[in-house]
Amino acid sequence: MEVAERILDDLRRPLTVADKELAVHASIGISRLERGSLADADELIRDADAAMYVAKRDGKGGYRVFAPEMHAGVVARLELRSDLERALENDQFELHYQPIVRLSDGHVAGVEALLRWHHPERGLVAPLDFIPFTEESGQIIQIGRWALREACLQAVALGRLSAEDEPLYMSVNLSVRQLRHDGVVTDVRDALAESGLQPGLLMLEITESMLIEDPNAAILTLLELRALGVRIAMDDFGTGYSSLSYLSRFPLDTLKMDRSFLRPDASPDAVDLSSAIVALGSSLGLQVVAEGIESEEQMDRLRDLGCGYGQGFYFARPMELSKLCDYLAAQTVPMLAGGGGVLR
């Protein structure tokens, strides 16, 4: 452990490469040969590898010493990785869609595409149970590429159900790995070209955390994406690190207010902040979408604040494509007449 600490201390010292400072981080796994153990070198390396995965999971720049329970966790991770590889090959992924509604008149302006995994044995796997792993393993690049392509193709089909003068837009989440990937602009360009979707009808959602580690690189990537004609939204806004000067640097079109501001147990400060976020969006010329709307009261309050759009269970839960088509076909019913036209 003392050796591991010395290695980590040395690696924390910045390196100068081509007149630029680079920071290198490492995750270290340690295994020990106990007295009387019959373990061979391969087993020791396997155990150290298991401990290293735990160190990576717990945060970069640390070390962990192997414990027997770690092995089961690593085996489970290897099985998950293998299952995810087969999932893409066997068309086990699908997209569900949640409407984004204009609060002034209840018009469905767009939909957000949300990834779902139908495992042949485990059934529907919750996104939180597999998406973080795909981020860590790098599989999100390929899976995200599929989701982007599928969403664009479906957006073209859904466009036939919306008014010609106000076509439906498609909102797709970009992960941290995708935004940092060299091919992200090419992936978006290819998805648009293959589907024939108008670039202005694609909204790419990013989170504040993506912009913190290397904001200059993030800005360059976002500018390249904007040059394609797509729109950019900052998701989960209000819970991160934004300031006016920081926020104004990024080429954004939309702020998506985090759902925590609408929780029933939200503090009075959170309620005040939701008002401030709407005002901030207006001052920067950005649309504001409030996530997590679950009641008519919440919708009315946000509309009175001047919030333009909303998303949440009050309007509809995420649904399969066929149900979304039915939902959109029924939108001739006024949605704001006492909530009577809201479909759940």
Residue 313 lies in a domain: yes
Per the model's pLDDT, the better-predicted residue between 40 and 60 turns out to be 40
Same domain assignment for residues 104 and 203: yes
Do residues 98 and 60 both lie within one domain? Answer: no
pLDDT of 248 over the 80 cut: no
Answer whether residue 240 is part of any domain. Answer: yes
150-164, 214-228, 289-303: lowest mean pLDDT where?
150-164
Segment 168-220, tens digit of pLDDT: 999 999 998 899 899 999 999 999 999 999 999 999 999 877 777 677 888 89
Alpha helices for 260-335 (secondary structure H):
268-283, 296-305, 321-329
167 and 243 both lie in a single domain: yes
CATH of the domain at 136: 3.20.20.450
In this predicted structure, which of 44-48, 98-102, 231-235 has the lowest mean pLDDT? Answer: 44-48
pLDDT-derived band of residue 245, with 50, 70 and 90 as boundaries?
A: low
Q: Is residue 76 part of a domain?
A: no
pLDDT digits (tens, 9 = 90+) for 296-321: 999 999 999 999 999 999 999 999 99
Cα–Cα nearest to 242, from 197, 281, 205: 281
Say if residue 119 is in the same domain as residue 188.
Answer: yes
| Residue matched to tokens 């702020």 | 255
- Domain assignment of residue 72, yes or no: no
Would residue 108 count as lying in a domain? yes
The range of the structural domain enclosing residue 245 comes to 93-329
Q: 124 and 15: one domain?
A: no
Task: Pick the closest to residue 82 from 119, 47, 45 (CA basis).
Answer: 119
Residue 134 pLDDT > 80: yes
**Can you give the CATH number for the domain in which 31 is found?**
3.30.70.270
Let me know whether 57 and 132 are in one domain. Answer: no
Q: Compare 233 and 61 and report the one with higher pLDDT.
A: 233
Tens digits of per-residue pLDDT, 2-57? Answer: 999 999 999 888 888 888 878 788 899 999 888 777 778 888 998 898 898 888 87
Instruction: Indicate if 129 and 209 belong to the same structural domain.
Output: yes
Helical axes 68-89 vs 140-158, angle rounded to 10°: 40
In this predicted structure, what is the pLDDT of residue 242? 56
In sequence order, the β-bridge partners of residue 237 are 257
**Is it the case that residue 343 has pLDDT exceeding 50?**
no
Average pLDDT over residues 85-100: 92
**Do residue 114 and residue 178 come from a single domain?**
yes
Q: What is the average pLDDT score of the chain?
A: 86
Are 159 and 211 members of one domain? yes
End residue of a domain, out of 26, 47, 66: 66
Cα angle 322, 325, 330 (rounded to 5 degrees) comes to 135
Task: Give CA separation, 82 vs 46, 75, 139, 264, in Å.
Answer: 18, 11, 11, 40
Confidence band for 95, pLDDT divided at 50, 70 and 90:
very high
User: Quick one: 51 and 102 in the same domain?
Assistant: no
- pTM of the predicted protein model: 0.78
- Residues 51 and 180 occupy one common structural domain: no
**Residue 291 in this model has a pLDDT that exceeds 90:** yes
> How is residue 137 annotated by DSSP?
H
Which of 321, 250, 258, 262 has its CA nearest to residue 286?
Answer: 250
Q: Domain end: 66, 84, 107, which one?
A: 66
pLDDT value, residue 234: 92
Q: Is residue 82 part of a domain?
A: no
Domain tally for the chain?
A: 2
Question: Is 239 inside a domain boundary?
Answer: yes
Q: Are residues 291 and 177 in the same domain?
A: yes
Residue 163's pLDDT band (cuts 50, 70, 90): low
Look at residue 59 and tell me whether its pLDDT is greater than 80: no
Is there a domain that residue 80 lies in? no
Least confident of 83-87, 219-223, 309-313: 83-87
